[in-house]
Structure 1
Amino acid sequence: MAIWKSRKSNSERFKREALPHLDAVYRFALTMTHDGALADDLVQETYMKALAAFDSFQEGTNCKAWLFRILRNTFVNQIRDRRKEVVVEEIPEGLGALWSDSSSFSDPESAVILASTRQQLQNALNALPIDFRTAVSLSDIEGLTYQEIADVMATPIGTVMSRLYRGRRMMKEYLLRQGQQSNSQGKVLSLVGSKTGRGG
């Protein structure tokens, strides 16, 4: 009876702590796989593993970051098992715009420019190598701190900061190559560049 109550309590806590992050976990899975079906499978496996290991989750810590770490490790293991790269065929529709909260910009023009260039930003993000794409996604889309990203990626904070800096710079260079003479794109580049100095 005590074991049954413990399992029931654990299941209820899992629903309360983990399920609210389902959309974010799926979005991160899309960022990693670029494929809706693969993302669905990855999310399902992530939540199965998370439920099985939920006793190890420390209540009061960042559950979303904990789920992201499980997802990333699962994805890396899948890649190793297949011994081949995931082919990027299309831009994931579920990926939100980078820095999409218009309230973070003081002038309406910047918010409009940002909203109108989501596709360009998605393309630039998807062009990054996986480690840089993961770091930028976790920071600028999911809002994780440097320490949380370091925990998810199992790397030192200094490495996270380096990948963020280089990833954002590569995005800026990508946008330059795509249309350096575009006035609106020049403003987007300034927005991307402004993220380089953002703290965690």
Structure 2
Amino acid sequence: MPSYDFRSELLAVIPNLRAFAISLVGTADKADDLVQETLVRAWDKRDSFTPGTNLKGWLFTILRNEFYSQMRKRKREVSDPEGALAEKLSVHPEQVGRLDMDDFKKAIRTLPDDQREALILVGASGFSYEEAAEICGCAVGTIKSRVSRARSQLSKILKLEGDGEYGPDAVAVGVMNLNSPAA
């Protein structure tokens, strides 16, 4: 029995795939992209093809499935050829926040265990003072005191003087407001 030459059979079907792809997408360049993706997928899955069965039908099924997958993706995409929508999008720079977080992590490690525990339970985990007191096995007033001392200590370590110290700086806020619809 002669050996099956998958590559040769695959190459022979390309004109038929291209014609089918053009009928689906309408333009030759998009059709060529679709055929290329089909051939890549077929080559990757060639071990699952059974020689002697309908290779052309198998390839057409792959092409059709790829076409529908691309159509589903396009439905979720927004057309913005002039870049007007992209121009309005903006985010705060991450690097300052990342550095602030690194400083915060270092500072919180310097707190006494009981203060750090109380601050994390109330400030980060969202427990009430009463719940934190129950978890720690102490009075509610003790938890409030530990949290207060921890916050004061963190403010000193981080050299924070007010609410304006948190979040994006004034320059970043100004730049962000230039791109907002209200500006």
Normalised by the length of structure 2, the TM-score is: 0.39
**Larger gyration radius, structure 1 or structure 2:** 2
Normalised by the length of structure 1, the TM-score is: 0.35
